[in-house]
Amino acid sequence: MIQERVRAGIADDRAVIVARAEQIVEMLRSRYRFNEQRAVLFLDGLRRLDFDNGDCPEMTTVLDWVRDHNQSLDWTIDGDPATMICRLAAQVMPLQLA
Protein backbone atom coordinates (compact mmCIF):
# COMPACT_ATOMS: atom_id res chain seq x y z
CA MET A 1 0.00 0.00 0.00
CA ILE A 2 1.10 3.56 -0.59
CA GLN A 3 1.27 4.40 3.11
CA GLU A 4 3.86 1.73 3.85
CA ARG A 5 6.02 2.71 0.88
CA VAL A 6 5.98 6.37 1.89
CA ARG A 7 6.80 5.64 5.52
CA ALA A 8 9.57 3.30 4.46
CA GLY A 9 11.18 6.19 2.59
CA ILE A 10 10.82 4.55 -0.80
CA ALA A 11 8.55 7.21 -2.29
CA ASP A 12 9.96 10.55 -3.35
CA ASP A 13 8.60 13.80 -2.02
CA ARG A 14 5.20 15.02 -3.15
CA ALA A 15 6.55 17.49 -5.72
CA VAL A 16 8.34 14.70 -7.58
CA ILE A 17 5.26 12.46 -7.42
CA VAL A 18 3.08 15.24 -8.84
CA ALA A 19 5.67 15.97 -11.54
CA ARG A 20 5.58 12.32 -12.68
CA ALA A 21 1.77 12.40 -12.67
CA GLU A 22 1.79 15.61 -14.72
CA GLN A 23 4.14 13.94 -17.18
CA ILE A 24 1.73 11.00 -17.53
CA VAL A 25 -1.23 13.33 -18.09
CA GLU A 26 0.64 15.43 -20.65
CA MET A 27 1.83 12.33 -22.52
CA LEU A 28 -1.69 10.92 -22.71
CA ARG A 29 -3.19 14.31 -23.55
CA SER A 30 -0.83 14.71 -26.50
CA ARG A 31 -1.79 11.33 -27.97
CA TYR A 32 -5.34 10.50 -26.85
CA ARG A 33 -8.61 12.13 -26.03
CA PHE A 34 -9.65 11.65 -22.45
CA ASN A 35 -11.67 13.31 -19.72
CA GLU A 36 -9.77 16.47 -18.85
CA GLN A 37 -11.78 17.04 -15.68
CA ARG A 38 -10.78 13.63 -14.34
CA ALA A 39 -7.14 14.41 -15.11
CA VAL A 40 -7.44 17.63 -13.12
CA LEU A 41 -9.04 15.74 -10.22
CA PHE A 42 -6.29 13.09 -10.39
CA LEU A 43 -3.52 15.70 -10.17
CA ASP A 44 -5.35 17.62 -7.46
CA GLY A 45 -5.88 14.38 -5.55
CA LEU A 46 -2.15 13.69 -5.58
CA ARG A 47 -1.40 17.22 -4.42
CA ARG A 48 -3.79 16.87 -1.45
CA LEU A 49 -3.43 13.15 -0.76
CA ASP A 50 -3.01 12.14 2.88
CA PHE A 51 -0.54 9.27 2.53
CA ASP A 52 -1.45 8.04 6.02
CA ASN A 53 -5.15 7.68 5.22
CA GLY A 54 -5.75 5.06 2.55
CA ASP A 55 -9.52 5.55 2.80
CA CYS A 56 -9.59 9.25 1.93
CA PRO A 57 -11.53 10.44 -1.15
CA GLU A 58 -8.31 11.59 -2.82
CA MET A 59 -6.92 8.04 -2.65
CA THR A 60 -10.03 6.72 -4.39
CA THR A 61 -9.72 9.38 -7.10
CA VAL A 62 -6.03 8.60 -7.66
CA LEU A 63 -6.46 4.83 -7.71
CA ASP A 64 -9.48 5.00 -10.03
CA TRP A 65 -7.68 7.27 -12.52
CA VAL A 66 -4.52 5.15 -12.53
CA ARG A 67 -6.54 1.96 -13.05
CA ASP A 68 -8.85 3.44 -15.70
CA HIS A 69 -5.89 4.77 -17.69
CA ASN A 70 -3.79 1.61 -17.27
CA GLN A 71 -0.96 3.49 -15.59
CA SER A 72 1.58 2.31 -13.04
CA LEU A 73 1.10 3.46 -9.47
CA ASP A 74 4.63 2.19 -8.77
CA TRP A 75 5.99 4.64 -11.34
CA THR A 76 3.79 7.50 -10.18
CA ILE A 77 4.54 7.15 -6.47
CA ASP A 78 7.92 5.44 -6.29
CA GLY A 79 9.51 6.33 -9.61
CA ASP A 80 9.98 2.59 -10.21
CA PRO A 81 9.40 1.73 -13.88
CA ALA A 82 9.65 -2.07 -13.37
CA THR A 83 5.89 -2.70 -13.21
CA MET A 84 5.31 -0.59 -16.29
CA ILE A 85 8.03 -2.36 -18.28
CA CYS A 86 7.04 -5.87 -17.24
CA ARG A 87 3.30 -5.32 -17.77
CA LEU A 88 3.89 -4.11 -21.32
CA ALA A 89 6.38 -6.88 -22.09
CA ALA A 90 3.95 -9.52 -20.82
CA GLN A 91 1.27 -8.23 -23.20
CA VAL A 92 3.56 -8.43 -26.19
CA MET A 93 5.53 -11.58 -25.53
CA PRO A 94 3.98 -13.60 -22.67
CA LEU A 95 5.46 -16.95 -23.68
CA GLN A 96 8.90 -15.61 -24.49
CA LEU A 97 9.38 -14.31 -20.94
CA ALA A 98 9.16 -17.74 -19.33
**Mean pLDDT taken over the chain:** 84
The whole domain housing 84 covers 2-92
Total number of domains in the chain = 1
Are 3 and 54 within 8 A, CB to CB?
A: yes
pLDDT in tens, 3-35: 555 554 445 589 999 999 999 999 999 999 889
Q: What pTM did the predictor assign? A: 0.77
Q: Is residue 71 part of a domain?
A: yes
**Given this model, what pLDDT does residue 81 score?**
86
Question: CB of 84 within 8 A of CB of 72?
Answer: yes
Residue pLDDT, tens place only, 34-89: 899 999 999 999 999 988 888 899 999 999 999 999 898 888 988 888 888 888 78
Does any domain span residue 15?
yes
82 is a domain residue: yes
- The span from the CA of 56 to the CA of 28, in Å, is 26
